A = this chain, B = another copy of it.
């Protein structure tokens, strides 16, 4: 079998598995999730042996110490992964719930019911814990999953998948692509008849490459160039706290801010104060920044704008439509900002760092979509479902 046949056979098995998964009820899925958590813990020794292989190869190929750290699976990290699986078992299952339900004048009852999407392909670069996170979220929602992680983690990923393949789990429900051949990705992305959705997770280069090649619908997670706008009517104490939180609490993530917009009347009051506070926290301030750069570091662009209109224009022109905040006591100004800024999350008097599935109460997050179709912003379990119309009648016809 050549690579194309091998990958097509793999995806066909996943498609067949998805049909069995769609029939599992919530209790059966949760029981299997708890068994997976136990199995991951019990397989810790085996997993760390596989992980050691990846680490050794990584050292030889010159991975940075930060990369090696992210790749490392300790007993503590494996226990945390298992804990995460138990948490997913405890989340409500969206499959089978009604999105809405109504009766038509001719008497037919229509239910819009959540169903699994089918087969989901996750392409990622990062830590091996993504293998388990993504697999169990897809499984909880009745989807088969094909996981294609970074080649540097292949042994760890295969060991984790083996541990998740507990007795009673439909065969091929969770599949780690067993080859590190990059051409396998190209073959997978052609299989729109077998795979229903692709979610790439990683750097912008990976995501663009996947989006350009894929015939399968892709939900993208691009960068976050996020803003805080401090309006003339802001509470200065609140504004300072929000800015420091949004910039410094964890600068390397997509919902941290890159640009601070300050209303012109505050140039001699709030502006010197926040400059001092930011500098005091080790943040480099750039007044002539490239406004589209995602620094992911203790660097911030700073621009004085004249009112909320100019702030909205700046965000529209340079932002990434991810997460943007206004600080103001003025309701009318805030409402204009919230309405006119076309970002997946817009905040009034709160930190952009709250743009997160956990913070929104989704219990788990598969990522933050920067797309506008199907799912936008933090994606929870519901976003891993589709729906169908279930119509019940007493012999109704089309007249």
Contact = CB atoms under 8 A, between A and B. Distances in A.
A223 to B, nearest CB: 14
Given A345-B388, A346-B390, A373 B372 contact: no
Contacts of A197: 372-373
B386 A347 contact: no
A264 interface: no
Interface in A243-298: 245, 249-250
Contacts of A377: 388-389
Nearest to A22: B342
A68 interface: no
B376 A344 contact: no
A391 B241 contact: no
Given A215-B212, A397-B353, A388 B376 contact: yes
Contacts of A392: 338, 347-350
Interface in A342-399: 342-351, 353-356, 359-361, 371-374, 376-378, 386-398
A196 B393 contact: no
Interface size on A, as a range, is 35 or more
A56 interface: no
A360 B393 CA distance: 13
Contacts of A389: 344-346, 355, 360, 377-378
A387 to B, nearest CB: 6
A3 B250 CA distance: 46
Interface of A is mostly: mixed
Given A104-B359, A316-B19, A354-B391, A386 B373 contact: yes
A211 interface: yes
A205 B223 CA distance: 36
A36 interface: no
Interface in A92-139: 102, 104, 108, 110, 115, 117-118
B238 A373 contact: no
A80 interface: no
A75 interface: no
16 contacts: A22-B342, A104-B359, A344-B388, A345-B390, A346-B390, A347-B392, A348-B391, A349-B394, A350-B391, A351-B396, A351-B397, A354-B391, A354-B398, A373-B386, A376-B387, A376-B388
The list of the 5 closest CB pairs from A to B, nearest first, reads A350-B393, A353-B398, A245-B397, A372-B386, A374-B374
